[in-house]
């Protein structure tokens, strides 16, 4: 569309100016869908000809492709986040079901045990209490997964304690959590990455470590944040483990995505320590 005189336009939109003498615009099309207009204006009248229209349309076509690519990229990211959230929700649901099933069996046997072994029944009652507490923690984690933005908005210490309570409920392995300051929060994606690494690390403890204790420590010094998850389990030889084993690939991708650093130290028979380090300044430039 070319107007040799702007005053001839029925209305002036983006790209025109009251002092402009002429105006040319080209539609931005994604397929047959118009998504905008690329327009330029000049002070003098009769400033644009057919070549200008062709050039502007070429730019408009490229801009439309760029917009389409950006939309597809955003949709792919949203789909990936949705798939991951659904996967984690399924895992949490299965874990809750298993915990409650085991707790139900213990509860049914408890009256009979109490009659023949009251001391043993007290021990069972303590285990039952831990299991139900773990199931509650898993349900809260499930709600966090299903509510967009909930993980990023919750203090990191609360997130880590819920993960620890869930592990203790499933395995009876005690988990200590130390977070400085107690209300520590990281910027959105960084907090999500820290949470996911801790989640994956504790999943590994439950499935593979055969540990008797776990310690989680998180803190900040200046703009440098850190998280460590240590267990006293069986450990592994990092040189013989496939990259995608134990969720190592997931952890590395999460930390690389925020411009952080992930270190995994494990010695067979001497446990495993996973450390995440992230700097606000380095992450912003990543």
Task: Tell me the pLDDT of the chain (286 aa) as tens digits.
Answer: 555 554 544 454 444 455 667 888 888 888 888 888 888 888 888 778 888 888 888 988 888 888 888 888 888 877 877 777 777 667 666 777 777 888 888 888 889 999 999 999 898 888 888 888 878 877 777 777 777 788 999 999 999 999 998 898 888 899 999 999 999 999 989 999 999 999 999 989 988 889 999 999 999 999 999 999 999 999 888 666 665 565 788 899 899 999 999 999 998 999 999 999 999 886 655 5
Residue with tokens 């009652």: 125
Q: For the residues of 51-104, what is the DSSP string, one character each? A: HHHHHHHHHHHHHHHHHHHHHHHHHHHHHHHHHHHHHHHHHHHHHHHHHHHHHH
Beta-strand pair 214-221/261-266: unpaired
- The predicted model scores a pTM of 0.61
- According to the model, what pLDDT value does residue 10 have? 46
Instruction: Quote the tokens at residue 68.
Output: 């389409």
β-partners of residue 216 are 177, 229
Domains of the chain: 2-71 (3.30.450.40), 155-286 (3.30.565.10)
Indicate the length of the chain as a whole number.
286
* Predicted pLDDT of residue 36: 86
Q: Which tokens sit at 100?
A: 């409650």
CB atoms within 10 A of CB 126: 11
Q: How far is CA 283 from CA 179, 190, 225, 286, in A?
A: 21, 8, 11, 5
Token pair, residue 39, equals 């327009």
Token readout for 194 is 């820290």
């Amino acid at each position: 569309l070319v107007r040799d005189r702007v005053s001839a336009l029925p209305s002036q939109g983006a790209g025109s100016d009251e002092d402009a003498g002429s105006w040319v615009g080209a539609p931005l099309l994604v397929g047959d869908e118009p998504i905008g207009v690329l327009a330029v204006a000049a002070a003098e009248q009769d400033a644009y000809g057919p070549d200008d229209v062709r050039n502007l349309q070429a730019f408009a076509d490229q801009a439309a492709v760029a917009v389409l690519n950006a939309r597809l990229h955003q949709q792919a990211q949203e789909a990936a986040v949705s798939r991951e959230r659904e996967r984690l929700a399924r895992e949490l649901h299965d874990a809750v079901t298993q915990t409650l099933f085991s707790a139900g069996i213990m509860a049914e046997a408890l009256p009979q045990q109490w009659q023949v072994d009251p001391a043993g029944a007290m021990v069972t009652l303590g285990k039952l209490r831990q299991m139900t507490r773990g199931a509650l923690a898993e349900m809260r984690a499930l709600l966090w997964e299903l509510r967009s933005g909930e993980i990023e908005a919750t203090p990191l210490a609360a997130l880590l304690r819920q993960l620890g309570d869930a592990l203790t409920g499933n395995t009876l392995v005690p988990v200590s959590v130390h977070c400085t300051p107690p209300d520590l929060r990281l910027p959105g994606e960084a907090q999500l990455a820290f949470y996911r690494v801790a989640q994956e690390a504790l999943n590994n403890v439950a499935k593979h470590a055969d540990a008797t204790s776990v310690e989680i420590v998180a803190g900040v010094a200046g703009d440098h944040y850190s998280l460590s998850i240590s267990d006293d389990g069986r450990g592994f030889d990092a040189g013989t483990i496939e990259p995608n084993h134990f969720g190592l690939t997931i952890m590395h991708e999460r930390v690389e995505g925020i411009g952080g650093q992930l270190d995994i130290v494990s010695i067979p028979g001497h446990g495993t320590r996973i450390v995440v380090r992230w700097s606000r300044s380095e992450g912003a430039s990543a």
